[in-house]
Amino acid sequence: MALKVTGTRNQPFSEFRKRVFTEAGDKVVGRGPSRPDQAAFLGLSEAELTPSVQGAIRTLLTEIDDLRHEVERLKAQLLRIEILADQDPLTAAINRRALIRELDRIRAISHQYRSPATLVYLDLDDFKDINDRFGHMAGDQALCAIAERLRAEVADNDLVARVGGDEFAVVLTQASLPVAESRARHLARSLEAKPVEFGEWSAPLHVSWGLSEIRPDLESEEILAQADAAMYARRRERRAGA
Catalytic residue numbers, as ranges: 166
Q: What angle do CA 209, 145, 236 make, to 5 degrees?
A: 20
Query: Who contacts 106 (Cβ-Cβ below 8 Å, separation ≥6)?
Result: 117, 171, 173, 214
As beta bridge partners, residue 169 has 121, 161
As beta bridge partners, residue 196 has 203
Measured distance CA(13)–CA(19) in Å, rounded: 10
CB atoms within 10 A of CB 189: 10
Measured distance CA(118)–CA(96) in Å, rounded: 16
As beta bridge partners, residue 159 has 171
Query: Who contacts 92 (Cβ-Cβ below 8 Å, separation ≥6)?
Result: 147
Measured distance CA(107)–CA(219) in Å, rounded: 9
Backbone phi, then psi, for 159, in 5-degree steps? -125, 145
Measured distance CA(230)–CA(235) in Å, rounded: 9
Chain center to CA of 58? 39
